[in-house]
Amino acid sequence: MSGNVVRTAPPHAGSTAYINARIVDPIADKEYLGAILISDGRIADFGPNLFTSGAPYGIQSIDCGGLCLAPGIVDTRVHTGEPGEEHKETLESAGIAAAAGGITSMVLLPDNDPPFDDASLIEFVARRARQIKLTNMYAYGALTAGLEGKELAEIGLLAEAGALAFTDADHAIGNAQVLRRALYYAKAFDALIVHLPQEPTLSGGSMTSGEMATRLGLSGSPPLAEVMMVERDIRLVEMTGGRLHLTKISTAESVKVIAAAKARGLKITCDTAAPYFALNDLAVGDYRTFGKLMPPLRSEKDRLAVVDGLADGTIDAIVSDHRPQDQDSKRVPFAQAMPGGIGLETLLPVSLELVHNEQLTLPRLFQRLSSTPARLFNLPGGKLAKGAPADLVVFDPNFAWKIDRVDFWSKTKNSPFDERPVQGRVMATIVGGRTIYRDDAFAPETAAA
């Protein structure tokens, strides 16, 4: 990425107006040419008729030149290596990559070493975020002790320490009794349980089952391993009345079953990650380990069903599922490679393909990227509203470029989208009124009126 990351720049001492912008408002489900006024790190005003004759005296004015201005992305599925594997990614390098990707808030998965099953680690993340001064950082609490799927973690203490929700990350809870207890217990704190639905004894293959796996001679994980767990989890929600968020939905059958559960009024929400609507199992190609993910890339039929699920609202949110892996983890035979791909810097341009393909409008896309995840996880950003944090992204939806892993800010380069042509580029990222990232191609006209 060609741009500048700024950590310490304070917000403008007075007020700042972003004018001549294509405002994307996910809550109102519309877009229009208008302006946003920021004061003391918050949105003071916005709308199509604001400053049509220019900003008044004493207000710094930034002309966006018709670029899009939207709520910053809220990414609720990010893994870093800190603590434990800082050579893969630190909180600082992840914060830099997120800033370059237009992500203003991110929620960190708990599968570190040690895992986030202790309140001190939740507090550690909050402290480091204050020191780094980039994107807002929050942490999941572990759902079970040691992420072992046996005994519940101290959900109450973790919630008091600031854990946003509870999950065992990419470790599926195979024991139905454990998840049932978790759903019951979490109700007392109105806590959200996030679960990856993959039946553990069926989902250990190197890639998805099918013609491609057979041709490459690789062990397969059947798509049914996902929907079997989805159906089990829905029954547990029926039994307990708890809240459950299913993550990284990747199959047509899962989308169908979740839609039916929502129609029955169950407290079920879900997300998918960018690879599952943008790639299929052909991306594994000639044993390309950057295409080894968890769950694995699915068939084209499944990919299209995920797109349809995003379009009709069955799938509530889009996440990056950022999971850095070092060269030693990826430059090995496919069966031995660790799953995972980085995604902070590619989340917006890849997601914009849904807009360019006329599958989502820009406001609907930012419902999936910003406003809905913020609402589900009870975060203050992700929306345009008076008094809301001025967490914003300026982007050019039509800027054509080619993803090149060499240019990533992230410490590791394992992107499944490497060398993919895309349209859409982050031009500036604003957190609490501070511009923390600016692309070299963004040279707004600035004046202190």
What value, to the nearest 5°, has the Cα angle with vertex 174 and ends 173 and 175? 95
Q: What is the DSSP string of 203-266?
A: --SSEESSHHHHHHT--EE-THHHHHHHHHHHHHHHHH---EEE-----HHHHHHHHHHHHTT-
Parse the chain into domains and list their residue ranges: 3-70+391-448, 73-376
pLDDT tens digits, one per residue of 391-414: 999 999 999 999 999 999 999 999
pLDDT tens digits, one per residue of 350-396: 999 999 999 999 999 999 999 999 999 999 999 999 999 999 999 99
- CA-CA distance, 245 to 98, in Å (whole number)? 23
Q: Which residues pair with 43 in a beta bridge?
A: 38
What is the token pair recorded at 325? Answer: 């892996």
Is 425 a residue whose pLDDT tops 90?
Answer: yes
Active site residues: 321
pLDDT score at 116: 97
- Class assignment of domain 73-376? alpha beta
Task: Look at strands 73-78 and 421-431 and give their pairing.
Answer: unpaired
Task: Quickly state the pLDDT bin for 155 (edges 50, 70, 90).
Answer: very high
Query: What is the topology classification, in CATH, of domain 3-70+391-448?
Result: Urease, subunit C; domain 1 (2.30.40)
- Residue 283 is given by DSSP the state G
pLDDT score at 56: 73
pLDDT tens digits, one per residue of 223-254: 999 999 999 999 999 999 999 999 999 999 99
Task: Quickly state the pLDDT bin for 441 (edges 50, 70, 90).
Answer: confident
pLDDT tens digits, one per residue of 257-270: 999 999 999 999 99
Q: For residue 113, what are the contacts with CB-CB under 8 A and spacing of at least 6?
A: 83, 84, 85
Percent of the chain exceeding pLDDT 90 equals: 90
Reduced to 3 states (helix: H, G, I; strand: E, B; else coil), residue 172 is coil
